[in-house]
Structure 1
Amino acid sequence: MLEVLRNGLVVSCQPVDDGPMDRPDIITAMAQAAIAGGADGVRIQGADNLRHARKSITVPIVGIVKRDLPDSPVRITPFLDDVAALAQAGADIIAYDATSRARPVPYAAIVEEIAKHGCLAMADCSNMDDAKSAVQDGAQIVGSTLSGYTDETVHLGPEPDLEFVKELSGLGAFVMAEGRYASPSLAKAAIKAGADCVTVGTPLTRLEVNTAAFRNAISQVT
């Protein structure tokens, strides 16, 4: 599985929540289009979306469940039931929030549940402490996904955290560069920095976000 993804591209097929493209059939079409363009894998949110896509694609799928919890900032696959649902829907890899923030279920238990279902665990990390703990817990993949998206890392700005990717490459785990890779040149830079694979989402699958950027740029002139 990891060799299929090595030096490859994963496309995160996550449209804007509750937008016109947030439908299982459209998400499946996004995944098919990404694969036609050369994607080696896809990342899909939600068991129903994943189940629909699994019927027609054979590349590795990274599955997640996103939740907005009232008592925790953790959003990515916070519950054991989420892991089970993703595995039953056909996920090959299950990603989870690996930060040290307050959470409903210990992340070691999440990794254990992922392994129980025969899937690979991907730790979405914000810093090296997260990643080291994840590797100790048994995660096979460490991602830079949450660097820039926690209170401690939000100051890092709009560029991807290539220094974090370089540090991750020394851990011995499979490294997924993810988060703000907005151009082909940045994806290339991630591989050069030591990433084994790169995940790209918003620039490819969030039409509303990219349209707004063009519209705003034009408005500044007129």
Structure 2
Amino acid sequence: MNKKQQVFDRVKRELIVSCQALEEEPLHSPFIMGKMAYAAMLGGAKGIRANSVEDIKVIKETVDLPIIGIIKKDYEGSAVFITPTIEEIDQLYQVGVDIIAIDATNRVRPDGKTISEVFPIIRETYKDQLFMADCSTYEEAKEAYELGFDCLGTTLNGYTEYTKGSSLPNFELIERLVKDFPIPIIAEGGIWTPEQLKRIFDLGVHTAVVGTAITRPMEITKRFMNAIKPE
């Protein structure tokens, strides 16, 4: 069995938990993200999505689960911030994550190119690496599939300018991707309840990523507060 098959078999019909905290958030710390990943594993998660080399190193020491690695970095003049350049890809490759997720939207990247221009070079450079396409539309997922990504994610639906206002989770988009593409579909974005997760799995996804609803207590608290003190 090849590496790709092994990784995808481990997360098939299982839950991946995103353990991330941005610099401005109280839980921002590799130590805390390592503990968060360990707690997720004890709860039954079979994969982790993590941001930054520092966090990933600690998480790899803490749990033996497949890791989807990203590096979030803002570059002036580009809205692309999830693993936006070759530099971030190389850092993730060196730290050794199972899957590298990158922004696969049609937006112009920091180097002035589009995903269709840069991914063939990425694919050729890192032949043995699995890549996940973080998409926001069906058309972007179709292009990512044709470019040779190993799996497709709905991660950025609702988060690009042209998909803002999209109802999340986007069951319709997820269902179309499952129906039309023969590679693993990873549902991600706006999954807040176990009932939503169950419905998504019933659509036939390979796996799903839940983050904020599990690992970001500040955002969870805000949701409860909005229920009693709506703006």
TM-score range, shorter chain: over 0.9
- Superimposed CA distance per residue, residues 89-136 of structure 1 (whole angstroms, 9 cap, x where no aligned partner): 121100011010111254253465366163210000111111111111
Which letter maps to 2:212? T
Matched pairs, number: 219
Partner residue of 1:168 out of 158, 169, 177: 177
Percent of counterpart pairs with the same letter?
35
- Listed as ranges, the matches of 1:1-222 within 5 Å are 1-105=7-111, 106-108=114-116, 109-110=118-119, 112-113=121-122, 116=126, 118-157=128-167, 159-169=168-178, 170-219=180-229
Rounded to whole Å, the distance in 1 between the matches of 2:195 and 2:110 is 38
Rounded to whole Å, the distance in 2 between the matches of 1:180 and 1:20 is 21
RMSD over aligned CA atoms reads 1.6
C-alpha contact 2:119 2:147 (8 A) present in aligned 1? no
Deviation at 1:193, TM superposition (A): 1.5
Over 3 Å counting, the alpha-carbon distance change for 1:117 and 1:17 in structure 2 is farther
C-alpha contact 1:67 1:77 (8 A) present in aligned 2? yes
Q: Secondary structure at the match of 1:211?
A: helix
C-alpha contact 1:42 1:62 (8 A) present in aligned 2? yes
Q: Secondary structure at the match of 1:87?
A: helix
Segments of 5+ residues of structure 2 without an aligned counterpart are 1-6
C-alpha contact 1:66 1:75 (8 A) present in aligned 2? yes
TM-score scaled to structure 1, two decimals? 0.93
Segments of 5+ residues of structure 1 without an aligned counterpart are none
C-alpha contact 1:111 1:139 (8 A) present in aligned 2? no
Rounded to whole Å, the distance in 2 between the matches of 1:219 and 1:163 is 31
Rounded to whole Å, the distance in 2 between the matches of 1:155 and 1:19 is 25
Q: Secondary structure at the match of 1:155?
A: coil
- Superimposed CA distance per residue, residues 68-92 of structure 1 (whole angstroms, 9 cap, x where no aligned partner): 2221111110111101111211211
Rounded to whole Å, the distance in 1 between the matches of 2:159 and 2:57 is 28
Rounded to whole Å, the distance in 1 between the matches of 2:54 and 2:122 is 20
Rounded to whole Å, the distance in 2 between the matches of 1:55 and 1:113 is 27
TM-score scaled to structure 2, two decimals? 0.89
Q: Which stretch of structure 1 is more off in the superposition, 46-55 or 196-205? A: 46-55
